Structure formats: C-alpha cells, structure tokens
Amino acid sequence: MVRQRVLVSFGARQFSRIAPPHPQVIRVTKNVAKLGSPKEGPKPRQLLSLPPFPGFPLPGKKSVNTSHVTAISWVKYYFDEIPDSVIQSHFNKSLVQIECPSSSDSVEKEGLAKPMRKIKPSDVMEVGARIHIPVSVAETAISKRFDTIPSGTLYPNADEIEYLQRLVKYKDSALLVLNKPPKVPVKGNMPVHNSMDALAAAALSYGHDEGPKLVHRLDRESSGLLLMGRTKESVAHLQWLFSYINKAQSKCQAWNDACEATYQRYWALVIGSPKDKEGLVCTRLSKVLLDDGKTERVVLAQHSSLEPSQEAVTEYRVLGPTINGCSWIELRPLTSRKHQLRVHCAEALGTPIVGDYKYGWFVHQRWKQMPQVDIEQSSGKPYKLRWPEGVDIQKGSVLSKVPLLHLHCRELVLPNLAKFLNVLDGKLENVHPALSTRPDLLRFVASMPSHMKISWKLMSSYLV
C-alpha cells in the first residue's frame, strides 16, 4: 500500500514546458560532492578600438619590401610598447576582431553595436579598416613601489642621475626624448629646482657643453613623451615645428612631407563619455585671472568678449565602453595651447579628465557620490567589479579617494631632424649621403605611469 502511494505521488509530478528545471551537475571539491549549476561560459570582454588604418607606409616604421601591412603588423605597430608575444597570443585565441565593411551609417546613428568578424594575423589591412581587441592586450606590469622623484637640488646625486637617464627613450645629435613621470614640473622658477629642464641640464648633457632645452611643455601632473633639443639650431627648428604644426615651408620636399606627418596622441580617462564616439573640437581659448589676481585659468572664449584669444583644435576618439562612470579616450591636438586638452575635455565635451580638479572640481564631487551602474552592450546585464589581486588602488588610481591626473602623452611622430639639419641651415643643398638611409620620420610610444596602469587594469577587470 505504501509502495502504491509512492508511485502515485511520483506519477502526479509534472514539469512545466515553459520553464523547465535548470540542469544540475555534480562537482567534487576536497572529496566532497556537491550538486550545482553548470559552469558558465566565457564572459564578454572589454574591447579597445584602434584608430582607422591610415594606409601604407606607416609613419616612423622602417620600410620593407612588401607593399601591404598585415593585421598583426598593424596591431604591433600601434602597441609598440607591448611585447609581441602578448599580441600574438590574442590572435592565437581568436580574440581580435574587425568591423565588417557592410556596416552602414544607420547602425552608427541608432547607437547599435557594429557587426564584427574575427580576423587572422595574416589578413591584409585596408585603408579605413578598424580593429577591436580586448583591453587586456595593453595590461603591463605594475611596479609595487614608485620611483622617487629627484630631490630639490641643483646638483642631483648618482642615483638621481641614473633615474633620469632611465627616462630617456631616444637621443641623437639633435634631440632627446624622455618619458616624463607625473608630479614633476617641466619648467621651474627660482624656488623650484627639481624641474625637468634644470635636472636635464645637470644630468643629461651627454658630453655637450650645455644640457638639452625644452621644446614643448607638459603640465606638472601629466606624464608622457617630452621632447628636448640638444643644440640651439635644433631647438629653434623644433619650437617652430610645434608652433606651426603641419605647416612647413622649405626647399626640401622630404622635410615638408615629414612636417605634415607630425602628430601627438594622448590617452586620457574622463568622467562620463562624449556624445559622439569621435569628432573634432575647434574653439578659441582665452586666459583670465581669478578673484585673487594671481591664479590664471584658461576658458572658452566668448564671441562677444574683448579678451585676446587663440584658436585651439583637438581630434578625439573614444577607445572603449564606459566603466565605473568613466571612459578612455584618445586625443590628438592640432594646435599647442596651454591646458588645451583639459579645457576641451571639461568644457567643450563635458567630460573632465579624472584627477583634473582645476577644470572639473564640481563634476568630481558629483561623480564620487553617485552609484555607477554600467550595462554591457552585448548582454544587457550590469557590469560587476572583480578586484585585481596584488594591486594597491589607493596610489592615485580611479578608485582612490583623490585620483591623480589621468592624462598621458603616449605617442609622438616627428621629422628626423638630425637628417635634415644641415639642409635647413643652408650648409648643404641635399641630405648627406651617409644620412640618406635614415628614416624621414621618428616615432615613439611611452608606457603609462603606474596610477594609469592600475586604472586600466581595473577597467579590464569588470565582468558581467
């Protein structure tokens, strides 16, 4: 009788066809079997967008016999500071994608994700093609201790000289390129002795009678590639080049073409995201004094204002999705104005740079107090933060209480001045035969400082 009741109870049990039970699997951990749900598949990856392929030949790349560029060569060229093995592994895992050429403008206007397909490392790049790759490709090792900034002295000691010389990425007879760390002033007044120009004059002369001179400036809080001239002639030519970008008037056509190819690219982390994924900001900037009469501030010039102003032009491009209320963007200044990128991000785009309290104080206050909920485009689910192991987020990263400025001059392309210097000075009519084999353009890529590396790693640690 009892057996019949049991059979009846099992026979009456029915499952719904609309909502079937979730499949269960048995997992054994430390000799203990447990019933649980199956292992989830791979999570959607944060994708980084590369700029459109500019075509062959690539600026600053050594010429080769082939007349085309493969996909892996283009990615290695853009991420010059990343080991080739890391890029190769992303191709081996089929993580590199390219936008399909059939994607129409209507898809972009509606804000939908563009269709993409996987790309092989040997595929030939076409002009305008855009590659997307996981942001993990740009993750680099983070030093557990920060390098100490040289002390405020006119005569740095041996350790400080060695530290400064490690910052040098390139030097020749005409110029010197440094990877400037944050929180080091570029130009110092009398009370400031640990500025880059004073330290370079004391430690980076390399046998010259005088140390290198500044050609352009970076803000004290920013980091990245800093160019210095080693002779009076080279300083004059480089300063002219940065004052009139892409405008060259010389009898040497190769020099004119190299000047037209000159550019700088910055990476910045901004609060929010621009409305358009890429565009051009063209405004006029003017300088005003605040109420104390000492503090100077750069603002967007008003059309009716009588204050003198200068034209400022910046190209921008969004690198990836919005994470924790912030977005990574790439900036390319076409003019050289004081605080140009910071003002354009804060006032023209409405997305101040993280750590820029001068032009984005009120936005920082609201951003730190607001809970951030970001949605993954492919699944529609919210992002969740996975805390990276072994990383101290309090060292100026985006999650620290007081983040440092996230503005870094990452890439620099400029003419090979040492090759053309004698021609520009009128000493020779043509380039010396011994220098003719040298490239017309030089290209440099600098890795980000530690606090920006931490923020980048936090961005790639978000999972759905």
pLDDT confidence of residue 410: 95
Pairing of strands 441-445, 407-415: antiparallel
Residue 228: band (very low, low, confident or very high) from pLDDT cuts 50, 70, 90? very high
Residue 390: band (very low, low, confident or very high) from pLDDT cuts 50, 70, 90? low
Which residues does residue 444 pair with via DSSP β-bridges, in sequence order?
412
Q: Please give the share of the chain, as a percent, with pLDDT higher than 70.
A: 75
Residues with Cβ within 8 Å of residue 23, at least 6 apart in sequence: 37, 38
For 347-403, the three-class secondary structure string (H helix, E strand, C coil) is HHCCCCECCCHHHHHHHHHHHHHCCCCCECCCCCCECEECCCCCCCCCCCCCCCCCC
pLDDT confidence of residue 179: 93
Q: Which of 22-26, 284-288, 417-421 has the lowest mean pLDDT?
A: 22-26
**Residue 371 reports pLDDT greater than 80:** no
Cα dihedral sign for 91, 92, 97, 98?
positive
At 147-160, the pLDDT tens digits run: 555 555 556 777 77
pTM above 0.85, yes or no: no
DSSP, res 234: H
pLDDT top residue among 167 and 146: 167
pLDDT confidence of residue 169: 92
Residue 7: band (very low, low, confident or very high) from pLDDT cuts 50, 70, 90? very low
**Residue 8 reports pLDDT greater than 50:** no
Residue 6: band (very low, low, confident or very high) from pLDDT cuts 50, 70, 90? very low
- CA 101-104-108 angle, 5° bins: 115
Across the range 190-204, mean pLDDT stands at 72
pLDDT confidence of residue 333: 94
At 328-350, the pLDDT tens digits run: 999 999 988 889 999 999 999 99
Q: For the chain, how many helices (H) and strands (E)?
A: 12, 19
Is residue 175 within 8 Å of residue 225, measured between CB atoms? Answer: no
Across the range 96-112, mean pLDDT stands at 64
Give the separation between CA 128 and CA 100, rounded to whole angstroms: 11
Secondary structure of residue 304 in the 3-state scheme: coil
Catalytic residue among 80, 209, 219, 374: 219
Does the annotation mark 219 as catalytic?
yes
Q: Which long-range contacts (CB under 8 A, 24 or more apart) does 346-350 make?
A: 347/299, 347/300, 348/281, 348/283, 348/300, 349/270, 349/274, 349/281, 349/316, 350/272, 350/274
Return the beta strands (E) in 217-295 as ranges: 223-229, 263-271, 278-289
At 250-262, the pLDDT tens digits run: 778 888 888 888 9
**Residue 131 reports pLDDT greater than 90:** yes
**Residue 190 reports pLDDT greater than 50:** no
DSSP, res 435: G
pLDDT confidence of residue 146: 46
DSSP alpha helix (H) spans, 111-190: 158-166
Whole-number CA gyration radius for the chain: 27
pLDDT confidence of residue 123: 93
**Residue 21 reports pLDDT greater than 50:** yes
Cα dihedral sign for 8, 11, 15, 16?
negative
**Residue 315 reports pLDDT greater than 90:** yes
Across the range 178-202, mean pLDDT stands at 76
pLDDT confidence of residue 78: 93
**Residue 206 reports pLDDT greater than 70:** yes
Across the range 10-33, mean pLDDT stands at 63
Tokens of 156: 């740095």
Tokens of 295: 């503090």
Across the range 64-69, mean pLDDT stands at 72
Q: What is the average pLDDT score of the chain? A: 80
Residue 112, Cβ neighbours under 10 Å: how many? Answer: 11
At 406-458, the pLDDT tens digits run: 999 999 999 999 888 888 877 777 777 777 788 889 999 999 998 898 888 87
Residues with Cβ within 8 Å of residue 439, at least 6 apart in sequence: 60, 62, 63, 416
Give the separation between CA 227 and CA 210, rounded to whole angstroms: 16
